[in-house]
């Protein structure tokens, strides 16, 4: 039996492909602490499972993922500096391990971005090998507005992918990219047509074709390519996480996130009254 | 009072943005020794001024900048090898410090290229964070024709930005780029419409939006991104300057520059007779 | 007399350009051991010939080059593990020296891709300075299908050129690129119109213009640019060759190549019966 049970993920093996589907659709597949841990676990499982040649990451429902679940921060921020500090440390630890799981994944990793994609779900695409995007996918990293700084090695990888002038528009200015723009900026391998279901079917079919190639050739090629950047990526990950841990306890960042959460709350209240 | 007086620059602070405007329009904002020194000074001022979150570099008049003022070289070249050698050393020293001022600038740096742009004014764009271009902007690095070699870290940065095949066309062949081509080659973040005045207004408005984000987040993000390349960029700058100092005293380069200056002189004479 | 005789190449000097033309048109300019050796020799000759400022690489006939001549492998593979091992060592040694000859070439190197281009002929384009492509050129690296891994430093250079998401489609999935796609992915400097003859004429004319610039400026600029990556490229070359030597004696790779050669044989038999 090649399936494995998770709370926040749907996982299966099909024709050499290990499918990992983010499955918190009511929360737009936001990453709470549980989902961070389970993705780390699922990648370890895919790495060691001999019937998996290629891993395939996608999202259930309308979103690929809305990124870091900021509700993680609400309670600690309201409880004062000590609770905020503790939260920052916990979040930093898990983020470090989560991004390292992408950096160190030893097989080819395909992402199929079925819909909108935010924050950490965008930045880790730069650590995937092949990225398919649905026409309705979008890519948004609003770090600056929230007083935060980039993660997922995007501070290093995005300038290499897009060129600095266009990467900085994304990293500093929070420019939201359409699927076509993300393709033009080389974040995306190909934009595939069709609705969410057709998109995932086509992306998976292409991934199965890839998984049908001689598997050791793929694995050793991946390790060859990644070996050239691995040490640098691990250092960048560490530097990014250390900075974020400082940002998360800074008055500037706490004020920005708290203000953002209040506005979200208001929007929800207005909506529920309509 | 947040303004500062310069001979060759117009400088002011507005809504968190430190505006530095190259202001030798009758010389198409060419860099003489004075303007090199004053830009270094203005960047230091912007770095340390707490009311500046983002710096904004642009040009007065029709040009962004016509690059290194070759009239610097005319007198020493005519006076013989000793004077040429001394000029090469002086120019090298100032170029090294000028480019280091871009490499080490600790805040987000936006360039608004309002018109034609040559040589060192093109290459240092690769060290800016965001680059806006007017539709009439153009980008020209005629190093090879003048027997010179690239500066501003372009020998390292341009291949990373454009890919080597297209960067080398610029660096070896002196291919002049339109604003649209510079955008397609990722040297430029966005081409903004309108005449020079509308362009600068729109570029500044976008920069003010950026400067309104939590400022410490921007500064730490800039330092995170730059830290990954800083040591390499400083080494490249040094290697480029050392090579240029050798080029400037080579018979090949002296002949090419002298010949170019004569042709320019002729053109001016012809024009003034018409 | 500035010409030099080769078995598999046509070589001449014209207006500062050293033209090296792959000349096994009946084998679509596939690289047998002889042609590998002769290209190494021709590049050494062009490097040391003082009347050559720029080297120009192209192919005779319809193809630029069909890449590594797999008939090299047929006999050893049929003779058993010892012969295969010896063949892998010989092929690895020559590949290492061949790619190093591109890495270390001290003058500007222009490739004019006159038609289809496969494997090692594609990957070494990333080590050329300027790449012109005919409209009918195509670029194909079917490493994975043959159980092989990338060479020519493409595992390092292609992600830098195209961005990882698009480079991996080429390196893992063997996506075949048209000339226009190779241009969009920055592997190609420019696509030039016309038939094969017009294409080569225009590419050579542009190269002669380049070769007419002050030659020391070009040479020192090339050395400046290459010096920044040389050590890394040499390490990548070595790592790629070591992996390929292992791949070539793996049952997986031997089966894939043997199977491919049988299919090719069948196609030829069918064709010759028609």
Instruction: Output phi, psi for C78, to 5 deg.
Output: -75, -20
Residue of C225, C227, C229, C232 to mutate when probing chain B, most B C-beta within 10 A: C225
* Candidate from C147, C160, C240 with C-beta closest to A160: C160
Residues C9-47 have pLDDT tens digits of: 999 999 999 999 999 999 999 999 999 999 999 999 999
**Helix, strand, coil distribution of chain C in percent, nearest 5:** 55, 15, 25
pLDDT in tens, A204-251: 999 999 999 999 999 999 999 999 999 999 999 999 999 999 999 999
Question: Cβ A163–B187 below 8 Å, yes or no?
Answer: yes
Is residue B262 pLDDT above 90, yes or no? no
Q: Do the beta carbons of residue B64 and residue B116 sit within 8 Å?
A: yes
Residue in C157, C217, C222 closest to B247 by CB? C217
Question: Is B103's Cβ below 8 Å from some Cβ in C?
Answer: no
Low-confidence ranges of chain C (pLDDT < 50): 1
pLDDT score of B81: 84
Which pLDDT belongs to residue A1? 41
Task: State the CB neighbour count (10 A cutoff) for residue B95.
Answer: 21
Q: Nearest-5° angle of CA B193, CA A181, CA A190? A: 150
Please judge whether A164 and B126 are an interchain contact, meaning their C-beta atoms are less than 8 angstroms apart: yes
- Compare CB distances from A236 to B129, B213, B228 and report the shortest one's residue: B228
C161: contact with B, CB 8 A cutoff: yes
Q: Does B180 touch chain A (CB under 8 A)?
A: no
User: Tokens representing C7?
Assistant: 């078995």
Please give the ipTM for the structure prediction.
0.95
Write down the pLDDT at residue A177. Answer: 98
Contacts of C221 in chain B (CB under 8 A): 143-144, 149-150, 155, 171-172
Choose the closest CB to A147 out of B160, B162, B214: B214
Q: Do B126 and A160 touch (CB under 8 A)?
A: no
Interface contact flag, B187 A165, Cβ < 8 Å: yes
- Pairing of β B108-113 and β B54-59: parallel
Nearest-CB residue to A130 (from C160, C165, C247): C165
CB C130 to CB B246 under 8 A? no
* The token pair that represents A79 in the structure block: 């409880």
What is the percent of chain B with per-residue pLDDT over 90, rounded to a whole number? 85
**pLDDT attached to residue A271:** 67
pTM for the model stands at: 0.96
Inter-chain Cβ pairs, chain A and chain B, closer than 8 A: 99
C167: enclosing H helix or E strand:
helix C164-171
Residues of chain B with C-beta less than 8 angstroms from the C-beta of A256? 214, 217
Say whether residue C177 is in contact with chain A using an 8 A CB cutoff. Answer: no
pLDDT value at residue B3 = 63
Closest CA to A236 of A110, A103, A55, A57: A103
Kind plus residue range of the DSSP H or E element containing B243: helix B230-248
Closest CA–CA distance from residue A92 to any residue of chain C (Å) = 27
Location of structure tokens 């309670």: A75
How many whole angstroms from its chain centre is CA A1? 28
> Which chain C residues are within 8 Å of B247, Cβ to Cβ?
217, 220
pLDDT of residue B268 exceeding 90: no
């Amino acid at each position: 039996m090649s399936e494995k049970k998770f709370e926040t993920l749907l996982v299966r093996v099909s024709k050499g492909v290990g499918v990992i589907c983010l499955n918190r659709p009511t929360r737009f597949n936001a990453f709470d602490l549980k989902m961070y841990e389970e993705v780390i676990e699922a990648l370890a499982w895919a790495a060691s499972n001999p019937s998996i040649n290629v891993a395939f990451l996608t999202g259930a429902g309308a979103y690929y993922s809305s990124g870091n679940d900021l509700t993680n921060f609400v309670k600690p921020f309201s409880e004062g500096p000590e609770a905020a500090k503790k939260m920052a440390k916990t979040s930093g630890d898990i983020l470090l391990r989560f991004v390292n799981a992408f950096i160190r994944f030893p097989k080819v990793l395909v992402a199929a971005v079925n819909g909108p994609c935010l924050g950490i779900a965008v930045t880790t695409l730069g650590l995937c090998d092949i990225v398919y995007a649905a026409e309705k996918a979008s890519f948004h990293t609003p770090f600056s507005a929230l007083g935060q700084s980039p993660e997922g090695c995007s501070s290093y990888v995005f300038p290499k992918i897009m060129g600095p002038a266009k990467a900085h528009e994304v990293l500093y200015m929070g420019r939201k990219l359409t699927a076509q723009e993300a393709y033009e900026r080389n974040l995306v391998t190909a934009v595939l047509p069709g609705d969410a279901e057709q998109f995932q079917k086509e992306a998976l079919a292409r991934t199965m074709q890839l998984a049908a190639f001689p598997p050791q050739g793929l694995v050793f090629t991946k390790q060859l390519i990644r070996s050239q950047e691995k040490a640098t990526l691990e250092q960048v990950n560490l530097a990014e996480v250390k900075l974020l841990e400082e940002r998360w306890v800074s008055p500037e960042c706490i004020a920005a996130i708290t203000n953002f959460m209040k506005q979200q709350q208001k929007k929800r209240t207005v909506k529920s009254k309509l």
